[in-house]
Structure 1
Amino acid sequence: MSTRNTNRTVRVTAGALAALLLLSGCSSKAKDDDGKKGDSAAGEVKTGEGISGKTITLGALTDMTGVYATLGKSVTQAQQLYVKQLNADGGVCGYQVELTVRDHGYDPQKALSGYTELAPEVLGFVQFIGSPFVAAAKPRIDGQDKALVLPQAWSSSLLGSSYIRVIGSTYDIETINAIDFLMKEKGLKKGDKVGHVYFEGDYGESALTGSEHIAKEAGLTVVEQKIKPTDNDMTAQVAALKKAGVKAVVISAGPRQAASLVGVAAAGGFDVPVIGNNSAFAPQLLATQAGPALEKNYWVASPSLPIGADTPEAKKVVADYKKAYPKDALDNGVVAGWTAATTFGEALKKACANKDLTRQGVDKALLTLNALDAGFGTVQDFSDPKAPSSKESVILQPDKSATGGMKVIQQPKASTVAEAYTATAP
């Protein structure tokens, strides 16, 4: 069941953004060099867009000044570190890899103009933050450019593309696993109401699909509160959820909204567990007034173990990242960035072995990666474009004493409901 918030919101649809993108892209001409040959350490290798001279260029469309600024910075720096190490080891097929970065500030116009600018110049995108923006670019990615995109976005609307590949569980599956945790560990039970605060657009609505699905299966009622990325004060949402008598809350928004929700709830004596999707936390929040409340009553569902994971690979990434960026905090953006860069890197290496570094060659190479572990606990299977690479989620809890500000409460696991669920576009 579902109780909807009747407040009207202004929304730029993915369709409108896609139309803008296609219009702005009409004058862009991709380099017509598919099938040209290039000499390399691996012999004669087929190359195309994004390869010039001895350089492979990859694109990164990030957010360093908007709602996900902390995430974007960490993702980008982790990927720059990976590329630096890859090049130090000889690159790919004798080519050095270069990362071209554009900051869109979580603004749709900037995101789509950035894509239009970079698409003709890169082999593919190792980063694209923002489910709505990736969804808007999808018609052109699938129809015209056919370049591999590994987004830091987990909307189920992105599934089914041979070129946009979601790493880890989509938001709907992640939310199913999150509510399963609330039921098994935090007292939520059949007949209860669960609140869901979510961003309008692909991210929030994909997560809402998950909460509605498990609610139907488990006999819960979802009380919705739709918000915009510019809404930072969750006072009204907390009041509405408290009045509705919810026993737990899911938040599918950004770190600022999560901190406000948990902090306002604590200040008002609204003592219910709150769990967020993977992009709804940043360790910097632990230094704010909401810090104690976050440590006490907030959990996060994540597609992988945190940056402080007790694995050899994670420990090496931490040591290398600290050396490269000694003034910057560690967070799970580093994990997301490193995992995507590793995935793209492995696809490039496989394409090199196949002597085909064209966009099509890299796409085909990714399909052969069916058991990839970047060192953060979740095995990724990219063999089926219609499915996310994993259905597992890790449950984390904020902890200022832990590396990266998060500790593991539940190891990677897919709930029974998630296992039986097929992710579809919202």
Structure 2
Amino acid sequence: MRTTSAAGTARAAAGALAALLVLSGCSAKAGDGGAGERATGGVRTGKGISGGTIELGLLTDMTGVYATLGKSVTQSQQLYFEQLNADGGVCGHKISLTVRDHGYDPQRAVAAYTELEPEVLGFPQFLGSPFVAAVEQRVEDRDKALVLPQAWAHSLLGSPYIRVIGSTYDVETINAIDFLMKEEGIAAGDKVGHVYFEGDYGESAVEGSRHMAREAGLTLVEQKIKPTDNDMTAQVAALKKAGVKAVVISAGPRQAASLVGVAAAGGFDVPVIGNNSAFSPQLLATQAGPALMRNYYVASPSLPIGADTDRAKQLVADYKAAYPEDSLDNGVVAGWTAAGVFTEALKEACAAKDLTREGVGEALLSLDAFDNGFGVRQDFSDPEVPTSRESVVLKPDKAVTGGMRVVREPTASEAARAYTPPEA
């Protein structure tokens, strides 16, 4: 179970952000998610569909702590829907995207959702667990617009309209520590450090560490930080003094680079593994690059952009052609996957002749084996559990496309398979 303090932190953060909805002038009435429903060619439609166009919203971070990720996810989705439109769109409709950059700022994120919600069918991207949590109750009770977060907190499970794609942070962390135990010699009785952001992301990830500590007889040494904390010198000193044998980090790329770089400079030679949000290949060109390639791993919900698959190779070629000046990273895969999931839901809803918000949400429940060619099959039939319990373990490598090579293929550890996420 989540500790009292963690639950209080998460509830307080979500509650404070949710309150902003009122201040932002929310006036939708309960149950109006399909307001203005009408039949078009025998298919029911509602909000976000008119004149042969399906309007979708992208709520992202292109100027804040996750700017690199947000840019890659957004450009990947723009490319996906451009190709989809060129192939005829969905159900006789073309897709139109509206992008809002919230800069990882809570007020801007909630305001952007409030602005776009009346105009769109749904959101193939909403980056940031705390911001999605802030609108979760409204989405489920009245808006009923499908939201695919670029966030993996287990607290987002349970809604038929907010659907996390892949293993949640707690499951991902369980698989990460399983890797450390099987491949890096961590054993019962050892101390493992965990540096994590306050809020839904970090609290979800540390649940996985706490679970593995109980199950495997480890001692967990926790270091909670803020997204504005960029220098990990104090955290490294504390972990070194505690005698940890490995470190998990659930933060941003800057914090991961600082932690690994400071540890290497101080002779603290232990393996470090981060959640999927804790790496950017641009870091390999910094002073921390050599240390990252030596001691750092990343747990991911899918194979990387540089994977040896036909789909990955095609996406690399298409993305390079569309954005020749931009680097490739796993945000491209995440964005492409979410766009594919949303599109499949739209196609299923069209086949059922119900392209209302409720119809699209219902259609997604029928996808129980979605696979876009990046190694992990997703099952959306049960909103209460992660769509997958598998994780891929990657290692930074500047010689590889996208800067990440696979060191462990998609795997669900025994602990991850048996784990039940705590209720939010």
Shorter chain as normaliser: what TM range? Answer: over 0.9
**Is this contact kept in 2: 1:35–1:358, CA < 8 A?**
yes
How big is each residue's C-alpha offset from its partner over 1:197-232, in whole Å with a ceiling of 9 and x where there is no partner? 000000000001000001100000110100000000
1:273 corresponding residue in structure 2: 271
Which of 31, 38, 41 pairs up with 2:40? 38
1:93 corresponding residue in structure 2: 91
Instruction: Identify which range, 25-34 or 102-111, moves more after superposition.
Output: 25-34
Amino acid at match of 2:15: G
**Is this contact kept in 1: 2:10–2:200, CA < 8 A?**
no
Identity over aligned pairs, percent: 75
In 1, Cα distance between the equivalents of 2:25 and 2:354?
27
How big is each residue's C-alpha offset from its partner over 1:10-63, in whole Å with a ceiling of 9 and x where there is no partner? 996111111222442433577864431123xxxx21100010111101111000
Question: Mind listing any 5+ residue stretches in structure 2 that lack a counterpart?
Answer: none
Amino acid at match of 1:187: G
1:149 corresponding residue in structure 2: 147
**Partner-residue secondary structure (3-state), 1:391:** coil
**Is this contact kept in 2: 1:304–1:394, CA < 8 A?**
yes
Amino acid at match of 2:134: A
**Partner-residue secondary structure (3-state), 2:57:** strand
Q: Within 5 Å, give how 1:208-223 maps onto structure 2.
A: 208-223=206-221
Amino acid at match of 1:395: V
Deviation of 1:392 (Å): 0.2
Amino acid at match of 2:229: D
Which of 91, 100, 106 pairs up with 1:108? 106
Query: Normalising to structure 1: TM-score of the pair?
Result: 0.95
1:353 corresponding residue in structure 2: 351
2:26 corresponding residue in structure 1: 26
1:323 corresponding residue in structure 2: 321
Q: RMSD across aligned C-alpha pairs, in angstroms?
A: 1.8
1:69 corresponding residue in structure 2: 67
How big is each residue's C-alpha offset from its partner over 1:361-382, in whole Å with a ceiling of 9 and x where there is no partner? 1111100000000110000000
**Is this contact kept in 1: 2:37–2:47, CA < 8 A?**
no
**Partner-residue secondary structure (3-state), 2:47:** coil
Deviation of 1:139 (Å): 1.0
**Partner-residue secondary structure (3-state), 2:99:** strand
In 1, Cα distance between the equivalents of 2:13 and 2:345?
33
In 1, Cα distance between the equivalents of 2:203 and 2:33?
37
> Is 1:235 equivalent to 2:233 in the alignment?
yes
How big is each residue's C-alpha offset from its partner over 1:245-272, in whole Å with a ceiling of 9 and x where there is no partner? 0000000000000000000000000000
Instruction: Identify which range, 346-355 or 173-182, moves more after superposition.
Output: 346-355
Deviation of 1:320 (Å): 0.4
Which of 302, 310, 331 pairs up with 2:308? 310
Deviation of 1:355 (Å): 1.1
1:363 corresponding residue in structure 2: 361
Amino acid at match of 2:16: A
Amino acid at match of 1:80: Q
Which of 117, 133, 136 pairs up with 2:134? 136
**Is this contact kept in 1: 2:33–2:357, CA < 8 A?**
no
**Is this contact kept in 1: 2:109–2:131, CA < 8 A?**
yes
**Is this contact kept in 2: 1:206–1:425, CA < 8 A?**
no
Instruction: Sort the Cα spacing of 1:38 and 1:352 in 2 relative to 1 into closer, same or farther, 3 A.
Output: same
1:14 corresponding residue in structure 2: 14
Amino acid at match of 1:328: D
Runs (4+) of structure 1 exceeding 2 A deviation are: 9-12, 22-35
How big is each residue's C-alpha offset from its partner over 1:324-359, in whole Å with a ceiling of 9 and x where there is no partner? 000000000000000000000111111111111100
Query: Normalising to structure 2: TM-score of the pair?
Result: 0.96
Question: Mind listing any 5+ residue stretches in structure 1 that lack a counterpart?
Answer: none
2:418 corresponding residue in structure 1: 420
Amino acid at match of 2:86: A
1:399 corresponding residue in structure 2: 397
1:255 corresponding residue in structure 2: 253
Aligned length: 417
**Is this contact kept in 1: 2:10–2:199, CA < 8 A?**
no
**Is this contact kept in 1: 2:33–2:358, CA < 8 A?**
no
Amino acid at match of 2:302: S
Which of 329, 338, 341 pairs up with 1:340? 338
In 1, Cα distance between the equivalents of 2:28 and 2:355?
22
